[in-house]
Structure 1
Amino acid sequence: MNKLLQGKGKSRFWIGIILVFGFLIAAFSDWIIEWLWLGSLGYEQVFWTIKGTQFLLLGGALLVALLYILPNMHFLANQSKTINFSQSPLGQLNLEQFTHKQFKTIFYSFGVLFSLFFAFAYYMRWDSYFRFHWNETFDKVDPIFGLDIGFYLFRLPFIETIQNSLSILVFFVTLLMLVFYLYSGSLSLQGSSGISARDSVKKHLSLNLGVWLLLLSWGYYLERYKLLYNPNGTVFGAGYTDVHVVLPVLWIMVIFCLVLSVLAFMQYFISNFRWLIIGGVATAAVGIIGQGLLPTAIQKFQVEPNELQLETPFLEHNISQTREAYKLNRINEREYNARDTLTWEKLENNTSTLQNIRLWDPRLVIQTYRQLQEIRLYYQFYNVSLDRYQTEEGYMQMMVSARELSEEMPEQADTWVNRHLQFTHGYGMVMSPVAQIGTQGDPIFTIKDLPPVSEMGLNVDQAGIYYGDHDPSYKIVNTDIEELDYPRGDQNVYNNYDGNGGVSIDGFFSKLLFAWEFSDINILLTDYIREGSKIQFWRSIRERVRRTAPFLQFQDDPYMILVNGDLKWIQDAYTTSPHYPYSERYNGQLNYIRNSVKVVVDAYDGTVDFYAIDEEDPILDVYMDIFPDMFKSLNEMPEAIKAHIKYPQTLFEIQMDIYNTYHMTNPQVFYNNEDLWERPNEKYGGQQIKMEPYYVLSKLPGDDNLQYMLISPLTPNNRDNMIAWMTAKSDFPQYGEVEVFKLPKERLILGPAQIEARIDQDTEISRQLALWDQRGSRVIRGNLMIIPIEDSFIYVEPVFLIAEGVDIPQLQRVIVTVGEKVVMEPTLGLALESLFGQRPEERIMAATETVISQDSSQAQVQGPAQTPTGPQLEEFKTLWSEAQRALRDGNWQLFGEKMKEIEDLMNEE
């Protein structure tokens, strides 16, 4: 019998252990998994620091709330003993049946619940606390109060959180007590005799009212600093009326509320609410008049008639602070005397620029990649990025796309084993030069196929993409099921993952944990998991870096790079704030931004490295103090990776949009908006859209070296002519240098919309495009490229043809214009010859011309091929047109004959 009882006791013990363990998994599985995941990346410090801070804030706020609320609830519960509820408005609730102990339980429960809500708000403010506690100085002061800018970005937001939350807490608790006393009959308002209540009730209310008024006084004191964020004046920030009217009124409100709080506290000793009521009415009157009526009157009758004169100092504050917050004060402004003076000699001196003019549109070429290079249904290309590479043929701008695992699988193959154990990764990438065109208008691939092969010495050694831009589902690797690498003929090549990425899942409890987290019992039941198996989750690059560094901002898409045979991703990270005094807010969200961090993620191992590229950023300094082992210096970044760093488009667009207004540094010009700029429009898909900045590989005026840079033309507000162009360099050691080239204002420089109009007005081009649009195909004009060459511009726009039913855009023509003339030819080289006449013996466009092989389905760039000139050029055009006509008609024999004739013509001496 004893053994039986002992056995039952042990059973209950183990059942209890299992239940406790199950509860812990259910309650804390998210945290456990996050801890394991960050530990696998070597960033446990992030987990413990953030969670520790959250619980510190939660515990501190909860303690403060309980110390305030519970004594009040205790007093209310004691008062309930002396209240006759049957004679009060609450009589219908039959509250007499509750005992004092039950009242205490009810009030205490409410107090704890309200305290938890209050504390949870602080649990979510861990990042604000980070900045408050580890604050840095900017060594720059605001122009009104003379405080360091760091006070506004780091300390003030958390101080305001404390003031606001405490004010709300005290207000609602006091309101609750007031309502309870009124409805219970303990407090009543009597006309001439004033407030009727027991002394204990009056003292209770007066103490809480005094605390609230004290907090209100503190709030008005802090409100002074918020004037520097006022968005409603002539400029963003404090204006004349704010400084000379509102600010003094706020000081008066601070004093009035302070006096009122003293009067409220005095009620504990002197039961006379008269002066408190009079003071409250006076304070409300001062608030209404001083913060509403008086500023409006001063603004309308004193400021508006003399606005420029009175607001000039504040305009200067806004201009200088905004330029500092967005680094506009570091933009180098230069004059660019654009002229239509392009010659063959100048083109010869800029051959490398011409050979890298982007003809392929990323919005269209992605479809071509999908049709020609996905190869199997379980692969997919999601986006195309631009980069530059040193190749056997020189320094070239490339289009790059990762061949990732598709999120959708064929229905017959969509099993749990396939989705999570066998189809675990993408494989390889495709790469093609931005300016090279195949015979049928397709891109010429530098890297292609499975396994990846390269035409220019850019070899891919580790092609597996276990971490990519998409595929959010989890994968289990190194199991008894081999993982598909790539197809080869009728067979497949398989492999087992041997990298460092993932969390170990070879134990029962770890399988149970992940089965619960992902709501998938198959993880627990499968027999394929073995010792050394790992589960990979949060595999998307954006989610991966966001979870690793949740205190940074991520706006741009990550882009893939090829480094020494390995595939990696680069993600730009930002530090931002909406609290920079006097700085104009961008889209109402931020008014300070720095691209301070570059994140590099290995596509095979999933390792995440953070590189600090702007160590002058005080916000980044805060996080480097908190996480000293997390950030590497720029000097630690391998040179091979540094060669692929790009100035991010998001930052460039923000700076450009702000600069369009804040290049005006003269207050009068700024006030009148005399020289307001904007981003130009371009035509795409038959619609007018805002032109996006674009990357170019070019030489800046006066520079002998190719630079990879982001560029955008700028136009005057509501005008189409070009007024300037802006560029940001991406190559070291000039990385991050932003320049604006101002164009002459006394003569017309054509902008993108005007060039588009000229193309539309060209009868020959319009006729040809309309003809193509009517023959079962669709014509799309790609990005218009405006390329500066020495002291001139060349405008280049590709023309794509998409056949009906086949979503493969073909690059059929290139439109080029310089000065007054517009031409459209099959290649950029032919277009330049059409513009400038017969080229000299030096063949500057050899690398961009396509040599047609006998196999009409192939096109290769063959070094410096002989380019047709003079009569040969006319014969080439005729043969090309006949070949294209044969291609459209499906006459492959005639097409092949014409291609052979073209090859013979181009090989002639």
Structure 2
Amino acid sequence: MKKLKGWIVLAVVVVIALYLFSLFVNYYGDWLWFNNMGYGSVFDTMILAQVVSFVLFFGIFVLFAAAQVNLAYKQGVHTRNNRFLREDDPRALILPLYQGKRVFWFWMVVVGFFGIVMASSASGHWNQFLQFIHPTAFGVNEPIFGKDAGFYIFQLPVYQFLTGWYLFMVVLAAAMVLFSYYLDNAFGMQGNSFYVSARVKDHMIQLGGFFGVGISALFLMKLYNLLYSSNGVAYGPSYMDVHAQIPAYRVIIVLTLLVSLLLFLYPVYRKKKFLLYSIATWALVWIGFVWIYPSLVEQYVVKPNELKKETPYILNNIKLTREAFGLNKVEMKPFPVTQNITYKDIQENRQTINNIRLWDRRPLIQTYKQLQ
């Protein structure tokens, strides 16, 4: 047994050493190139941002996941040995080994591995994090939320990444917690029935509260992404988005946070029906207000009078497009036209005359139809 442990430790050390050596080779070559080009400080900033991002996100994941697994293991002691396991149940083989220091080392490896995966995914966004910390204002506020355009370039992408990363962290932690409870025999099949410990229910419901916070943030991201909407006749928010979708998202964000609070507090009040009714109400509001209501507004309010309803948002599109391309700075000047053109003028400017387009409505209509 000691020899086996020694070989395992040696294998782990070799793998880590090879990984660190490959990192050194890759980064050392880049470091030489950047320094040779006179951009050594740029490379140092890049490496520092990657390292800080990795350490920060690794720490967040490990602290959250370890806290949840530790709680699950402590509560699993109540069911660890108080149920009969059949001989063909895989836990009958695992539980005798799942004791003492082995438990700590097992979960340290699992949590550490997923922590490295999650931290690596985050460190790849180091450039966005630097832009988030040092944003530049564009000096142009969009007309819907009143935010500077720089928010959507430098900050919103980071908020979107953090939302997705947070949700995935909660899902991974929940999976680890369930596996811990499974090993501790806190839920499973007993005969023909499925049993679940009350502690498992409480813990998973509270994790549902963490997940609900992430869902509310996801709806907030959807709210800001309506500025990229293509629902209307022009690119950007339409009448339906502003008067139906935005209010719907705001309502569902608040309602999601309230349901999350109820999930966190469930072990305090323990009213199962009240919690189920709250979740059902949330689902009905989501379906009715976020999905159905905007479609009704589009069908019965916008379409009967589309030009009038969409005109302000079309004008927003035109105005901001002109500003984006600098067309709002074009100066209009009258061109002095003379009516005394002679035959000699025509002959001397034959190339210009031949390039004049004739606006005949017959070929013009045909051409437009072909272009469309």
Structure 2: segments with no counterpart, 5+ residues? 1-15, 368-372
Measure, in 2, the Cα distance between the counterparts of 1:134 and 1:160: 18
> For residues 259 and 26 of structure 1, do their structure 2 counterparts lie closer, same or farther at Cα, with a shift above 3 Å needed?
closer
After superposition, the Cα gap between the structure-2 partners of 1:253 and 1:171, relative to the gap in structure 1 and judged at 3 Å, is farther
Aligned match of 1:73: 69
Contact 1:61 1:122 in 2 (8 A): yes
* Alignment map for 1:779-790 (pairs within 5 Å): none
Q: 1:199 to 1:244 in 2, by over 3 A?
A: same
2:80 counterpart (79, 83, 90): 83
Q: Is the 8 A contact 2:205 2:263 kept in 1?
A: yes
Is 1:216 the counterpart of 2:215 in the alignment? yes
SS at match of 1:253: helix
1:287 counterpart residue number: 286
Q: Provide closer, same or farther for how the CA distance between residues 180 and 266 of structure 1 changes in structure 2, counting only shifts above 3 A.
A: same
Match of 1:41 in 2: 37
Q: Which has the higher contact order (CA 8 A, sep 6+)?
A: 2
Tell me the SS of whatever aligns to 1:216. helix
Point out the more displaced range, 290-299 or 65-74.
290-299
- Which whole-Å deviations, capped at 9, do the CAs of 1:482-506 have from their partners, x for residues lacking one? xxxxxxxxxxxxxxxxxxxxxxxxx
Is the counterpart of residue 29 in structure 1 residue 18 in structure 2? no
Give the residue type in structure 1 aligned to 2:60.
V
1:586-665 alignment, distance < 5 Å = none
Q: Is residue 2:359 matched to residue 1:745?
A: yes
Q: Is the 8 A contact 1:166 1:215 kept in 2?
A: yes
* TM-fit CA distance, 1:176: 4.6
The structure where helix makes up a greater share of residues is 2
Residues 160-197 of structure 1 show CA distances to partners (whole Å, capped at 9, x for unaligned) of 211221122113322553466478652479xxxxx975
Q: TM-score scaled to structure 2, two decimals?
A: 0.78
Q: 1:328 to 1:315 in 2, by over 3 A?
A: same
Residue in 1 aligned with 2:162?
162
In 2, Cα distance between the equivalents of 1:90 and 1:212? 35
Aligned to 2:151: 151
Which stretch shifts more, 83-92 or 198-207? 83-92
1:131 corresponds to 2:131: yes
Q: Which residue is equivalent to 1:314? A: 313
**Contact map agreement 1:263 1:275 (CA 8 A) in 2:** no
Partners of 2:219 and 2:253 within 8 A in 1: yes
CA distance in 1, matches of 2:309, 2:239: 6
Aligned positions of 1:516-527 closer than 5 A: none
How far 1:108 moved relative to its partner? Answer: 2.6
Displacement of 1:110 in angstroms is: 1.8
CA distance in 1: counterparts of 2:24 and 2:331, whole angstroms: 53
Structure 1 position 158, deviation (Å):
0.9
More strand by share: 1
| Aligned-partner residue type, residue 58 of structure 2 | L
- Does the 8 A contact of 1:213 with 1:258 survive in 2? yes
Rg comparison, structure with higher value? 1
**TM-score between both structures, scaled by the size of structure 1:** 0.34
The 5-angstrom pairing of residues 413-812 of structure 1 reads 745=359
Q: How many residues align?
A: 336
Aligned to 1:687: none
Q: Distance in 1 between matches of 2:234 and 2:283?
A: 29
- Name the CA distance, whole Å, in 2 between partners of 1:129 and 1:165: 14
Could you list the runs of 5+ residues in structure 1 that have no partner in the other structure? Answer: 1-19, 190-194, 348-353, 355-700, 702-721, 724-742, 754-909
Q: What residue is the counterpart of 2:55 in the other structure?
A: 59
For 1:223 and 1:89, the matched residues in 2 are separated by 51
Contact 1:240 1:310 in 2 (8 A): yes
Q: 1:281 to 1:209 in 2, by over 3 A?
A: same
Q: Which amino acid aligns with 1:67?
A: L
- Distance in structure 1 (CA, Å) of the matches to 2:163 and 2:19: 38
Contact (CA 8 Å) 1:140, 1:148: kept in 2 or not? yes
CA distance in 1, matches of 2:178, 2:135: 41
Q: Is contact 1:86-1:96 (8 Å) kept? A: no
| Residues 118/25 of structure 1: CA separation in 2 closer, same or farther (3 Å cut) | closer
- 1:74–1:107: 8 Å Cα contact kept in structure 2? no
Distance 1:106 1:183 in 2: 12
Residues 770-826 of structure 1: CA deviation (Å, up to 9, x unaligned): xxxxxxxxxxxxxxxxxxxxxxxxxxxxxxxxxxxxxxxxxxxxxxxxxxxxxxxxx
Identity %: 24
Letter in 2 for 1:98: L
RMSD (Å), alpha carbons:
3.7
Tell me, in whole angstroms, the C-alpha distance in 2 between the residues paired with 1:61 and 1:149: 28
